[in-house]
Structure 1
Amino acid sequence: MSSDALFGIHGKALEIRSQRMAMLASNIANAATPGFKARDVDFTKALDAATADQPASTDAAVEGNIGYRVPVESSLNGNTVELPVEQTQFAENAVAYKTTLQFLQGRVDTVMQALKGDN
């Protein structure tokens, strides 16, 4: 049984969410860096690319769907990170990551029970 058959799109979704979390964390870490441009991944488009009929790798799907965030207010030093926006996006992504992880854990638990013959 392949992992795609077992986990469906959730395995790829977890990978994309993980990469997005790293990108958002980088934005937050560089909030005071002059000239830093905040980036984000369009999760829906990246997941669509990763699960298409001829799927791209999750790395390629993410790279192809990265965009720069347009700030509401520009800063004098050219930095486009708006800390409240980044923190909100990070928190929302973390909740979605945890939810996907819990779903996958449930699938693994079900398979383990089936293999053991537990009812």
Structure 2
Amino acid sequence: MAISFDRALGVHQHTLGIRSERAEVLASNMANADTPGYKARDVDFKAAFAKAQGNVASRQHLAKTDGKHITGSSQLSPELKFRVPNQPDTGDGNTVNMQTERNSYLQNALEYQASVRFLDSKFKGLTKALKGE
């Protein structure tokens, strides 16, 4: 009997990758806090999760009408969105709020650690089941 890792591991295998991607985006926002014209971005978790689970309806594909066409993709993935600023413009067009970014980064890190711990316990349970304990 084959083991279905999707069933055995649950959603945590998908959330781990999304949390990792979000950490990179939030770190990029913090690194560009003083860059004029930089627009803060964030990951749309719902869209990214649907894509990670293989939900075909959430994917966007371009039609190839000729064999010489290359696969198209946008610079921003569908789940990467610009954040609506919650502070007035400081005059340089930058929309990064460091306090919001730090809080989001910390929350994301905690959720990432929770997913790692859940995956760890799932793997320990699978190991015990395979050993017959």
Q: When the two structures are superposed, what TM-score results if normalisation uses the length of structure 1?
A: 0.84
Bigger radius of gyration among the two: 2
Quick one: which of 35, 40, 43 aligns to 1:38? 40
Runs (5+) with no aligned partner, structure 2? 60-72
1:63 is paired with a residue of what secondary structure? coil
Q: CA deviation at 1:104?
A: 0.4
Match runs of 1:6-85 below 5 Å: 6-51=8-53, 53-54=55-56, 63-71=77-85, 72-85=87-100
Which structure carries more helix by proportion? Answer: 1
Aligned length: 115
Counterpart position of 1:86: 101
Structure 1, 71-80 or 26-35: larger mean CA deviation: 71-80
Structure 1, 46-55 or 1-10: larger mean CA deviation: 46-55
Runs (5+) with no aligned partner, structure 1? none
Counterpart position of 2:113: 98
Q: CA deviation at 1:33?
A: 1.2
CA RMSD of aligned residues (A): 2.2
Runs of 4+ in 1 over 6 A off after TM superposition: none
